[in-house]
Amino acid sequence: MRMGTGKTRRMPRAVREQQMLDAAVRIFGERGYRAASMDEIAERAGVSKPLVYLYLNSKEDLFTACIRREARALTEAVRAGVRPGLPADRRLWAGLRAFFTHTARHPHGWKVLHLQARTHGEPFAAEVAAMRQEIVAFVTQLIAAAAREAPARGPGCAALPERDVAGLAEALVGAAESLADWAGGTEGVTAKQAAATLMNFAWAGLGDLMAGRPWTPPRDDEDGPEVGYGHGGEDEGGERVAQGAGAVRAG
């Protein structure tokens, strides 16, 4: 009887690397970047620590690779969830469903992106900022498309200015991020429920805007002069406020 040679098939490098990233995302999500150890990541991946270093060079490079993989997966999920040709509200709903479904299915990946990477400075924060800008740009397109469709729905509907569209996209993405954090820490909340919560909050306002019914401040709002962002700087503005407060106290 012919005996086998005893050789085992070697796992392809790409597959082995994904195993390491799977283990690292889980450990970084559970422990945080500082507390996570390469020993524990190697043990979770079922490989030696030297092999992790051979494949991914350092803890910093490993964390960066995790951020890039999870960011790519999230943006691809959101884009894939939106089908062209649907009405504006259905497209936005599909995007929100895709976002919350992905973050619910990959809680450690979301923690790496939203909690860990942002709090440990460069280069990690820059990686997440790039992902966020891609999602904001996509949401901007969705809102802009809805705004373009609005005038066709009848009298009173108005297209939104480009600056308003950009601001709404930033606000919507920020709200989605915060709501994903809340849903992840709240027992019994589903991805569909989280998406519906934000859709009800956002679309009601967007619908009024596009129907020519924007909310406006009351006419008796006299809280002082209008203050713009990016003009004068924090220190200068703070000094003016301090001087004003001092004048009141002195009087």
Provide the residue-wise pLDDT of the chain in tens; the chain has 251 residues.
444 444 446 778 889 999 999 999 999 999 999 999 999 999 999 999 999 999 989 999 999 999 999 999 999 999 999 988 888 888 989 999 999 999 999 999 999 998 888 777 678 889 899 999 999 999 999 888 877 776 555 555 556 778 888 999 999 999 999 999 999 999 999 999 999 999 888 887 776 666 666 667 676 655 556 666 665 455 444 444 444 434 444 44
How many angstroms separate the CA atoms of 113 and 13, rounded? 25
Residue 56 neighbours by CB distance under 10 Å: 21
How many angstroms separate the CA atoms of 168 and 45, rounded? 42
Q: Which residues of 86-102 are buried (b: 16+ CB within 10 A; e: fewer)?
A: eebeebbbbbbbbbbbb
Fold of 65-213: Tetracycline Repressor; domain 2 (1.10.357)
pLDDT at 117: 82
Q: For 213, how many CA atoms within 13 A lie in the half-sphere containing its CB?
A: 7
pLDDT at 243: 42
**Cis geometry, peptide bond prior to residue 123 (ω within 30 degrees of 0):** yes
